[in-house]
Structure 1
């Protein structure tokens, strides 16, 4: 997996533009601006996306939900490569944990939750509550899995208590 040289966002090979950057950074380079300005803008975008994620419908004491916006979802399809499949198959026979498969699942969860936060940010939410993660096997061989993250995008604010 390739990352953007300017903002560090993960990119597939088809998303890489000239200079090893994402589409947004490519456009920013064309418009001008220094590397430091672009780095600051990318850091601001990432900080803005970082939101509160809760698996419960209510916020902890000290925070009030002031508006429920809509249900947001993020999907992440990922495959196990031949070697992961091979070693996972051996683990099925002899028992034990498959570190490679666990790492793939962990990375997919991080990606799906980040995409969920981006989707919530896009509609103006500052938190997502009632998050649910669902894993679905896409192929009978078990080498392609879909992770769907869903939740309710909300606006919260600290209360006076």
Structure 2
């Protein structure tokens, strides 16, 4: 399945727009990751622990969105947008939203 942030697929004809689809992932951080991130904040640098958690959330949200689109008969999702939010201390959410479409000759 093609997943893109663009509203069209170059050289392809969208036969029908099916529905808006989304996938959500709510991830909790743990005490060890929080401690390691605070050390990184003090000495500088990137927090690989949090970067990995963000990547995991993004992949889960995209996979869930793709599964929903597939169940609706779509073969592509266009206009995909990713949003990341902090819900409360130690919790983060990733939402992937797009338009499920059927693309001719894909």
Alignment RMSD, CA only?
A: 1.2
TM-score, L = length of structure 1? 0.63
Local SS of the residue matching 2:104: strand
Q: Secondary structure at the match of 1:106?
A: helix
Task: Work out which of the two has the higher radius of gyration on C-alpha atoms and give 1 or 2.
Answer: 1
Residues 1:94 and 2:49 aligned together: no
Residue aligning to 2:104: 157
SS for the counterpart of 2:49 is: helix
CA–CA distance in 2 between the matches of 1:106 and 1:66?
A: 32
What is residue 119 of structure 1 aligned with on the other side? 68
> How many positions carry a matched residue from both structures?
106
Using the TM superposition, give the Cα deviation of residue 115 of structure 1 relative to its aligned residue in structure 2, in angstroms: 0.6
In the TM superposition, structure 1's runs of 4+ consecutive aligned residues that sit over 3 Å from their partners are: none
Looking at structure 2, the residues matched to 60 and 112 of structure 1 have their Cα atoms a distance apart, in angstroms, of 25
The structure with the largest helix share of the pair is 1
Relative contact order higher in (CA < 8 Å, ≥ 6 apart): 2
Query: 1:158, CA displacement in angstroms?
Result: 2.6
Higher strand share: 2
How many angstroms does 1:74 deviate by?
A: 0.7
Q: For residue 111 of structure 1, report the CA deviation from its aligned partner.
A: 1.0
TM-score (norm 2): 0.95
Shift of residue 99, structure 1, vs aligned partner? 1.1
Q: Distance in 1 between matches of 2:83 and 2:46?
A: 21
Distance 1:55 1:97 in 2: 27
User: Offset of 1:107 from its aligned partner?
Assistant: 1.2
In structure 1, runs of 5+ residues without a counterpart are: 1-50
